[in-house]
Structure 1
Amino acid sequence: MINWEKPLIQAIARRRCVIVLGAGISRNSTNSTGKRPDTWEDFLKNCANELSDIAHIDDLISQKDFLTACELIKDRMGADAFTERVQQEYQRSGYSHADIHKYIYKLDSSIVASPNFDNIYDTYASSASASSVVIKDHTSNDIANYLLGGDTRLILKTHGSANNPREIIFTRNDYAEARTKYVLFYEIIKSLALTHTFLFLGCGTDDPDIRQLFEDIQFTHGYMPHHYMTLPQGEVHNDVLKVASDSMRIKFIKYSPDNGHQELTLSLADLVTEVEGIRTELTKNEQW
Structure 2
Amino acid sequence: MTDWPAALVAELAARRCVLVVGSGLSATSTNATGLCPPTWSGLIKALATAASTPEAKHRLDELIDAGNYPGAAEELRACADRQSLALEFRRLLLDPKFEPSQAHRDLMSIDQNVVISLNYDKIYDNLCVSLAGDDYMVISNNDAAAFARAIRGPARIILKMHGSVDDADSAVFSSSDYHSLRSAREQLFKVLNALFLTRTVLFIGCGFNGDPDVEYILTESGLAVKDGFPHYALIPDTKEDTTAFEAARTKGLNISYIKYPAPLLATGGRDHSAFAQMLADLKNSVLSQREVDV
> Is TM-score (shorter-chain normalized) higher than 0.5?
yes
Segment drifting more, 263-272 vs 195-204: 263-272
Is 1:88 matched with 2:91? yes
Aligned counterpart, 1:202: 205
Tell me if the contact between 2:50 and 2:81 (Cα under 8 Å) persists in the aligned partners.
no
Give per-residue Cα distances to partners, 1:233-270, cap 9 Å, x unaligned.
11644333222123211111111225952222122222
Deviation, 1:62, is 4.4
Output the CA distance in 2 between the equivalents of 1:22 and 1:278: 26
Q: Which letter does structure 2 place at the counterpart of 1:12? A: L
Is 1:129 matched with 2:132? yes
Output the CA distance in 1 between the equivalents of 2:90 and 2:199: 33
Q: Which letter does structure 2 place at the counterpart of 1:190? A: N
Output the CA distance in 1 between the equivalents of 2:169 and 2:135: 26
Aligned counterpart, 2:257: 252
Tell me if the contact between 2:196 and 2:223 (Cα under 8 Å) persists in the aligned partners.
no
Residue 280 of structure 2, aligned match among 269, 272, 277:
269
**Any idea what SS the aligned residue of 1:254 has?**
strand
Give per-residue Cα distances to partners, 1:202-261, cap 9 Å, x unaligned.
110123233234335266x65443111111111644333222123211111111225952
Q: Which runs of 5+ in 2 are unaligned?
A: 264-269
How many correspondences in the alignment?
A: 281
For 1:30-179, what aligned pairs fall within 5 Å after superposition? Answer: 30-48=30-48, 52-53=54-55, 54-140=57-143, 141-148=145-152, 151-179=154-182
Percent sequence identity is 27
Aligned counterpart, 1:238: 242
**Any idea what SS the aligned residue of 2:29 has?**
coil
Tell me if the contact between 2:262 and 2:272 (Cα under 8 Å) persists in the aligned partners.
yes
Alignment TM-score, normalising by the size of structure 2: 0.87
Aligned counterpart, 2:11: 11
Output the CA distance in 1 between the equivalents of 2:164 and 2:131: 20
**Any idea what SS the aligned residue of 1:154 has?**
strand
**Any idea what SS the aligned residue of 1:252 has?**
strand
Output the CA distance in 1 between the equivalents of 2:201 and 2:86: 31
Deviation, 1:26, is 0.5
Aligned-pair Cα RMSD in Å: 2.2
Aligned counterpart, 2:229: 225
**Any idea what SS the aligned residue of 1:177 has?**
helix
Tell me if the contact between 2:226 and 2:254 (Cα under 8 Å) persists in the aligned partners.
no
Q: Which letter does structure 2 place at the counterpart of 1:268? A: L
Output the CA distance in 2 between the equivalents of 1:137 and 1:69: 25
